[in-house]
Amino acid sequence: MSNDIEFEPVIGLEVHAQLSTKTKLFCGCSTAFGAPPNTNVCEVCTGMPGVLPVLNAQAVELAVRAGLGLHCTVHERSQWSRKNYFYPDLPKGYQISQYDKPICTGGKLDIEVDGQTMTVGITRIHMEEDAGKNVHDDLVAGARSYVDFNRSSVPLIEIVSEPDIRSSAQAAAYMKAMRQLLRYLGVCDGNMEEGSLRCDANVSVRPKGTEKFGTRAEIKNINSFRFVQQAIDYEIERQSELIRAGGKVVQETRLWDSQAKSTRSMRSKEEAHDYRYFPEPDLPDLVLRDGFVAEVGKRLPELPSDKLTRYTSKLGLSPYDAKILTEDAEVAAFFDAALATHKNTKSIANWVINEVLRELKGNSVESLKFKGDAIGELVKLIDDSTISGKIAKDVLVELMAHGGSPRAIVDSKGWVQVTDTGAIEPIVDQVLAANAESVEKYKAGKTNVIGFLVGLVMKESKGKANPAMVNELLKKKMGG
């Protein structure tokens, strides 16, 4: 093959998402993250002999929700299968999963890359239980390895994409869109550091312009958007170089080493597990009762794309603002709550985007000491001239620090705007007397000095004077 041949990548992602249930998939143990090792465990999730799994209904509802959100066919009947392999973190020696009869098939997810929308097909979604976690001491003499079964049997869905992705940027955009959707749906908290959302990337390359897929490598367990992109880029380069040098890509499982910024082989196809799948004898087929899927469909929240459309076409927000406000489900809910309190769309959008989100510096709106309705109330106070925009910023500082209601803050601090002419007039007189030069300029036609004078009066009144009123008084006193 010639040396300058150009390659095109073909990528398919398998996303593992932890379902947001309180308890595990087949027992009543808690799924809470960060508990001391082996405290969220029982006979069932540690695979003791003689126990039987009992299916968590909430997990099924969340899987159905994901299927509907991804426009899949949700199957009334699906089947549990045993996936057999031997590893210390898998106490039963098998994982209960779904195989050839998964709960959902055939969906899609729209993603946006460089301002272009494209659709990635979803092959299937299946439900399964997670494995435990091996914990290794530092590699010193006498080091030990431990197993923590807290994760064991936590409910997951695996979402398998069609090989529709053609670049690492598209893959990262897909992961982001998937995380956003699952968070909107309340299916998964999307916390990638805690392992709630992770993916395996299947990557192959083919000469540009050809149809036939190349041999793929699967990069396991990637847990950040940045790593997805880096790992895929590395893999595209590696495979292209290999073929240009006359070599052949072998089908294998690889690992992304984020320190070395490279992938390395974990096991080849020959060493691949033979999982010996067979139907799980301890569980009946998963049969959804009549009308269940329709009921879940009715309870589905507004999805990101619908919200985006509503914000631009119904609320009249700019596409840019609408995008920022819908990026995260929590931010959108915060904005909706503000708007429910006071219907000034433009102003509330500005306050949320330019003040609240900026102050958050990347933290979540859930970490705030106040809810969206407080911003609605704040803007209402500005709109009915109770406070000036400047004072409103001081109110926000108070809200950030202590929470509470804007109205109560304004009252207790005595920040109510002065709209009483009698109180403003003496300050105006004082400012005019001290700035004769500016008054002369104004009279000579340089009317824009009024801004400077308004500023002085506002400062003197500690921001409490009504600016419109100050403006009017100044004009009147300087003769029009």
Q: What does the binding site for ligand ADP look like in residue numbers (CB under 6 A)?
A: 10-14, 160-163, 202-204, 213-214, 216
- The item of ligand ADP, Zn ion, none sharing an interface with residue 29, based on CB under 5 to 8 Å by kind, is Zn ion
- The item of ligand ADP, Zn ion, none sharing an interface with residue 79, based on CB under 5 to 8 Å by kind, is none
* Helices of type H across 186-328: 225-244, 292-299, 304-309, 319-326
CB of 76 to ligand ADP, least distance (A): 23
User: Could you give the maximum distance between any two Cα atoms of the chain, in Å?
Assistant: 98
- The item of ligand ADP, Zn ion, none sharing an interface with residue 42, based on CB under 5 to 8 Å by kind, is Zn ion
CB of 43 to ligand ADP, least distance (A): 31
- Please identify, using beta-carbon distances, which residue of 11 and 418 lies nearer to ligand ADP: 11
Q: Binding to Zn ion by residue 131, rule CB under 5 A?
A: no
- Among residues 127, 98, 96, 129, the alpha carbon closest in space to that of 24 is found at 129
**Pair of tokens at residue 172:** 């990262």
CB of 133 to ligand ADP, least distance (A): 22
Tokens 């460089």 found at = 114
- C-alpha span between 56 and 76 (Å, rounded): 17
- Please identify, using beta-carbon distances, which residue of 53 and 67 lies nearer to Zn ion: 53
| Full DSSP string of 398-420 | HHHHH---HHHHHHHHT---B--
Q: In Å, how far are 81, 301, 328, 448 from 64, measured between CA atoms?
A: 18, 13, 22, 63
- The item of Zn ion, ligand ADP, none sharing an interface with residue 373, based on CB under 5 to 8 Å by kind, is none
- C-alpha span between 304 and 324 (Å, rounded): 11
Q: By CB under 5 A, which span of 20-28, 74-82, 189-197, 353-361 interacts with Zn ion?
A: 20-28
- What DSSP state is assigned to residue 396? H
- The item of Zn ion, ligand ADP, none sharing an interface with residue 12, based on CB under 5 to 8 Å by kind, is ligand ADP
Among positions 30-49, residues that touch Zn ion (CB under 5 A) are: 42, 44-45
Q: By CB under 5 A, which span of 22-30, 112-120, 217-225, 335-343 interacts with Zn ion?
A: 22-30
> Cβ-closest residue to ligand ADP?
12
- The item of Zn ion, ligand ADP, none sharing an interface with residue 326, based on CB under 5 to 8 Å by kind, is none
- Please identify, using beta-carbon distances, which residue of 56 and 123 lies nearer to ligand ADP: 123
CB of 125 to ligand ADP, least distance (A): 12
- The item of ligand ADP, Zn ion, none sharing an interface with residue 45, based on CB under 5 to 8 Å by kind, is Zn ion
- Please identify, using beta-carbon distances, which residue of 55 and 288 lies nearer to Zn ion: 55
Residues 188, 182 contacting (CB under 8 angstroms) = yes
User: What is the C-alpha R_g of the chain?
Assistant: 30
CB of 215 to ligand ADP, least distance (A): 7
- Among residues 167, 232, 176, 153, the alpha carbon closest in space to that of 200 is found at 232
Q: Binding to Zn ion by residue 55, rule CB under 5 A?
A: no
Burial class of residue 116, CB neighbours in 10 A (0-12, 13-18, 19+): exposed
- Please identify, using beta-carbon distances, which residue of 9 and 190 lies nearer to ligand ADP: 9
Q: In Å, how far are 24, 70, 344 from 56, measured between CA atoms?
A: 7, 22, 44
Residue ranges of E strands in 114-231: 116-129, 133-136, 145-148, 155-161, 197-207, 217-222
- Please identify, using beta-carbon distances, which residue of 23 and 253 lies nearer to ligand ADP: 253
Q: Binding to Zn ion by residue 27, rule CB under 5 A?
A: yes
- Please identify, using beta-carbon distances, which residue of 91 and 102 lies nearer to ligand ADP: 102
Residues 409, 395 contacting (CB under 8 angstroms) = yes
- Write down how long the chain is: 480
Q: Binding to Zn ion by residue 29, rule CB under 5 A?
A: yes
- What DSSP state is assigned to residue 448? G
**Pair of tokens at residue 29:** 């143990």
- Please identify, using beta-carbon distances, which residue of 95 and 202 lies nearer to Zn ion: 95
CB of 174 to ligand ADP, least distance (A): 11
CB of 223 to ligand ADP, least distance (A): 18
CB of 35 to Zn ion, least distance (A): 12
Backbone angles phi, psi at 165, to 5 degrees: -90, 140
Residue ranges of E strands in 19-174: 73-74, 77-78, 80-84, 94-98, 104-113, 116-129, 133-136, 145-148, 155-161
- Please identify, using beta-carbon distances, which residue of 12 and 463 lies nearer to ligand ADP: 12
Residue ranges of E strands in 130-193: 133-136, 145-148, 155-161
- The item of Zn ion, ligand ADP, none sharing an interface with residue 216, based on CB under 5 to 8 Å by kind, is ligand ADP
- The item of Zn ion, ligand ADP, none sharing an interface with residue 201, based on CB under 5 to 8 Å by kind, is none
Q: Binding to Zn ion by residue 409, rule CB under 5 A?
A: no
Q: How far apart are the first and last CA of the chain?
A: 84
Chain positions contacting Zn ion, by CB under 5 A: 27, 29, 42, 44-45
